[in-house]
Amino acid sequence: MHLLLLGVSHKTAPVDVRERLDFSSRDLGAAVEALATRASSAESVVLSTCNRSEVYVASDNPARARDEIIEFLSQYHSLSPDSFTPHLFSLSDEDAAKHLFRVAAGLDSLVVGEPQILGQVKGAFETAAGRRCTGPMLSKLFHWSFGVGKRVRTETALGEGAVSISFAAVALARKIFGRLDGRRVLVIGAGEISSLTAEHLRAQGVGEIAIASRTAAHAEALAASVGGRAAPWEEVPSLLATADIVVTATGSQRPILSRAHVEATTARHRPDPLFIIDLAVPRDVEASVGDIEQVFLYNVDDLQSIVQENLSRRSREIAHAETIVAEELLKFATWQRSRGAVPTVVALRQRFEAIRRAELQRLDNKLVGLPPEARARVDEVTRLIVEKLLLDPTEQLKALPDEETQVAYTEAVNRLFRLRTGESSSSSTDAAADRADADRQK
């Protein structure tokens, strides 16, 4: 059984090609099912996000599976194969596994370390598993990749630090106020960047979001979209006095908040500092406002430099994350190789079992005089002897360090015991081996 991966990602294909091959807008489950009906793909999972569309299959005949996947993509998306095959990348076996591990770890993402991808990988697998399109191979591979993603997240700082201006502002707010529940927010100026920041703040559970704009209609539109309240421009001074977080993003050419404005509101008792986020260019808040003791003032450049620093810190963590991927890949490869020994193990067990049964059969007329309990005991004891004899050889065969040794050992076992194993490990013998494994562990 071989792993095969075909796909496009932001690294191989321009956005218009990715859009045309996107599955996420359509029924992903139906797509996986459609793919699974193809003859050569025993197991399949489709991973589709805005940066990638990838098809993972386990197949005995990877060359044919490859053609079938291209045919499937072309039919499903109604595209001619020529329009996307130049952008398609194709990986098999360990390379495919490595790619999935890197994707799950966030190493292949546009923004390295972004956290959503692991959830998307899980979702893709669950959709396929829900439609019974997965089997032992992909199931193991994907679960392994979840583990890799989790390890990278807990053992490295790859996903740490905000990498967008609005997230950086929210992260700062959390370091000042702790939980943001019930904090009062004043947004001055209703532009795109202020709406993004307001949405992130809303997601953190802030209390009232008051939005003031010189154009009342803009304020109302933004208030409606983030669940805030549009406030008249005249209310700004009084809102300033009660706000914990102020976001400014007006198009004004001159500062709209002077030091005197802000001092008038901070002179009163404030249980916590005032956090002003000036997202406007040119700036809306006089620089000297930042000198007031209880005020933290951050402008776009400040936030941008935080973002830059976080990005460079993430890139320093890449090597660490790649090491984890390499370690896990090694373990996964060992597991996969152990699957190669399965046909021999199954044949060996079948042979021993056949001998046992034949001998019991031969002794049947001598045993017939025994009471039923004693006969059952004989059966049990012979079975246990066979189990014990097979225990070590089975484990040794499954733990061989590399492919070459494995071929040599299985060959030797086949000859020593006159086994006739199938040429390839069909899924039915796999299942038999799994059952045998389960029996042995009991």
Catalytic annotation, residues: 50
CA distance 413 to 350: 13
Whether residue 284 contacts residue 256, with contact meaning beta carbons closer than 8 Å, is answered with yes
Minimum distance between the CB of residue 328 and other proteins, rounded to whole angstroms? 19
Q: How far is the CB of 177 from other proteins (least distance, A)?
A: 5
270 counts as binding other proteins under rule CB under 8 A: yes
From candidates 14, 130, 178, 205, binder to other proteins by CB under 8 A? 178
Residue 364 CB, shortest distance to other proteins, in Å, is: 60
Could you tell me which of 200, 231, 237, 201 has the C-alpha nearest to residue 218? 231
d(CA 234, CA 160): 40
Q: Does 364 bind other proteins (CB under 8 A)?
A: no
Tell me, residue by residue from 280 to 299, as one string, x for binding to other proteins by CB under 8 A and - for no binding: ----------x--xx-x-x-
Query: Does 306 interact with other proteins (rule: CB under 8 A)?
Result: yes
C-beta of 103: minimal distance to other proteins in Å? Answer: 25
Candidate segments 7-15, 204-212, 232-240, 304-312, binder of other proteins by CB under 8 A? 304-312
3-state helix, strand, coil in the chain (%, to 5): 60, 15, 25
Task: Select from 270-278, 321-329, 384-392, 432-440 the region that touches other proteins (CB under 8 A).
Answer: 270-278
Total residues in contact with other proteins, by rule CB under 8 A: 24
One-letter identity of residue 330: L
Half-sphere exposure of 149 (CA within 13 A, CB side): 24
List the one residue out of 287, 306, 305, 307 whose CA is nearest residue 295. Answer: 287
Q: What angle do CA 174, 177, 178 make, to 5 degrees?
A: 60
Nearer to other proteins, 62 or 159 (CB): 159
User: Which residues touch 132 (CB under 8 Å, ≥6 apart)?
Assistant: none
Query: Quick one: 80 or 154, whose CB is closer to other proteins?
Result: 154
In order, the DSSP letters of 19-49 are: HHT--TTS-HHHHHHHHHTSTTEEEEEEEEE
Binder of other proteins out of 169, 177, 265, 346 (CB under 8 A)? 177
The least distance separating other proteins from the CB of residue 271, rounded to whole angstroms, comes to 6
CA angle (363 as vertex; 357, 365 as ends), nearest 5: 125
Rounded (5°) CA angle 153-158-161: 105
User: Which of 272, 327, 403, 411 contacts other proteins by CB under 8 A?
Assistant: 272
- Among 106-114, 119-127, 271-279, 388-396, the segment contacting other proteins (CB under 8 A): 271-279
Determine if 302 is a binding residue for other proteins (CB under 8 A): yes
Instruction: Please give the DSSP secondary-structure letter assigned to residue 179.
Output: S
Which pair of structure tokens corresponds to residue 305? 């430099």
Which member of 25, 78, 80, 154 binds other proteins (CB under 8 A)? 154
Residue 176 in the binding site for other proteins (CB under 8 A): yes
Q: How far is the CB of 421 from other proteins (least distance, A)?
A: 45
Which residues of this chain interact with other proteins, rule CB under 8 A? 154-155, 160, 172, 174-178, 268-273, 290, 293-294, 296, 298, 302, 305-306, 309
